[in-house]
């Protein structure tokens, strides 16, 4: 019964999205360690080949709850003036899934102790909605034309961003999708629902590292998300780094969600992260997010210094 209720609720949301405004970009609690998924200008900014995998499971314990997985890899080339990146992703909510790939190009202007980058990206995604799998009755017997056809459509989109960073500060502005893609309706001939630019996404992010002592550093960061037709949402985060090896932090999201974060720099090349999200609304739900990053030294026997961004 719960599966059927959730599926029907998902369908109601998708087929009435013209009057309901929702986030369509995947959200990450550890966005500061998965920046390429938010801003294409980030590509190559770590000055090494960097690969990051992230798995997010929302609303644990609920059938059909959102699941997001992403893999990103980026590297600097041409004397670190250009950054190239690739992102693979998959989102699944109930009977609906969206998967694809994003290719990124960034041009970096090197400064004495910082860099300014401009980035663009192109994405190809596959949207699927398995309407025929919905059980309309308890015994599975029933016939409704609205659920007689599945949806399978490919989308092409583009995004852009700008990113400024030094060793202890960063600020970026980006819009991952600039084209007004159109989703087909459940029966492919009634009212259609539009994604972006009607639901235009704009991301503003910034972070800074405050050295407290030789062994301790505080790293506050913020991500502001503006979506046309929806309230502005913000993530406010603070992490305490201990000897550049271990970090513990907390985050508050303005949609009534709080999070705890743990980061471990296991080696100069390997970083592990975990985030636990908990809703503080009357509808109690929680989410888990796991991150793993590996960085490849570009020079033989090169020792990498752990980086904050």
The CATH number that applies at residue 97 is 2.40.160.40
Positive/negative CA dihedral, 76, 77, 82, 83: negative
219 within domain boundaries: yes
Output the pLDDT for position 81.
Answer: 94
309 within domain boundaries: no
Output the pLDDT for position 280.
Answer: 80
Q: What whole-number distance in Å separates Cα of residue 182 and Cα of residue 293?
A: 34
111 within domain boundaries: yes
234 within domain boundaries: yes
264 within domain boundaries: yes
- List strand residue ranges (DSSP E) for the chain, in order: 49-57, 67-77, 82-93, 96-110, 114-129, 151-166, 169-175, 182-183, 193-194, 201-208, 210-211, 216-227, 233-242, 246-253, 257-265, 270-279, 286-296
87 within domain boundaries: yes
pTM over 0.85: no
Output the pLDDT for position 241.
Answer: 94
16 within domain boundaries: yes
Output the pLDDT for position 135.
Answer: 62
Query: Domain range for residue 142?
Result: 2-296
Helices (H), the chain: 2-15
pLDDT by residue for the chain (309 residues), tens only, comes to 444 444 444 444 443 333 333 345 666 788 887 789 899 999 999 889 999 999 998 876 677 778 899 999 999 999 999 999 999 999 988 888 899 999 999 999 988 889 999 999 999 999 888 877 666 666 555 566 666 677 788 989 999 999 999 989 999 999 988 887 666 655 544 444 444 344 568 999 999 999 999 999 999 999 999 887 778 899 999 999 999 899 999 999 987 789 999 999 999 889 999 999 988 877 667 889 999 999 987 454 444 455 777
Q: What whole-number distance in Å separates Cα of residue 57 and Cα of residue 131?
A: 22
Number of domains in the chain: 1
Output the pLDDT for position 51.
Answer: 95
66 within domain boundaries: yes
């Amino acid at each position: 019964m719960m599966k059927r209720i959730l599926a029907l609720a998902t369908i109601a949301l998708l087929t009435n999205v013209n009057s309901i405004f929702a986030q369509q970009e995947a959200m990450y609690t550890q966005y500061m360690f998965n920046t390429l998924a938010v801003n294409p200008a980030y590509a190559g900014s770590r000055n090494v080949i960097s690969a990051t995998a992230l798995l997010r499971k929302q609303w644990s314990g609920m059938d059909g709850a959102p699941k997001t997985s992403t893999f990103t890899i980026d590297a600097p080339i041409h004397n670190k003036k250009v950054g190239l990146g690739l992102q693979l992703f998959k989102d699944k909510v109930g009977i609906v899934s969206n998967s694809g790939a994003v290719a990124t190009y960034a041009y970096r202007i090197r400064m004495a102790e910082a860099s300014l980058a401009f980035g663009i990206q192109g994405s190809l995604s596959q949207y699927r909605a398995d309407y025929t799998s919905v059980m309309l009755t308890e015994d599975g017997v029933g016939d409704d034309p609205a659920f007689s056809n599945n949806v399978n459509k490919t989308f092409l989109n583009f995004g852009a961003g700008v990113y400024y960073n030094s060793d202890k500060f960063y600020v970026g502005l980006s819009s991952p999708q600039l084209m007004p893609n159109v989703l087909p309706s459940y029966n492919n001939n009634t009212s259609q629902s539009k994604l972006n630019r009607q639901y235009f996404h704009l991301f503003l992010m910034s972070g800074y590292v405050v050295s407290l002592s030789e062994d301790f550093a505080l790293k506050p960061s913020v991500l502001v998300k503006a979506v046309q037709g929806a309230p502005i949402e913000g993530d406010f985060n603070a992490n305490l780094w201990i000897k550049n090896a271990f970090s513990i932090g907390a985050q508050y999201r303005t949609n009534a969600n709080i999070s705890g974060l743990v980061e471990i720099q296991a080696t100069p090349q390997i970083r592990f992260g975990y985030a636990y999200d908990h809703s503080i609304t009357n509808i109690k739900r929680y989410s888990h997010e796991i991150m793993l990053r590996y960085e490849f030294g570009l020079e033989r026997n090169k020792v990498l210094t752990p980086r904050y961004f």
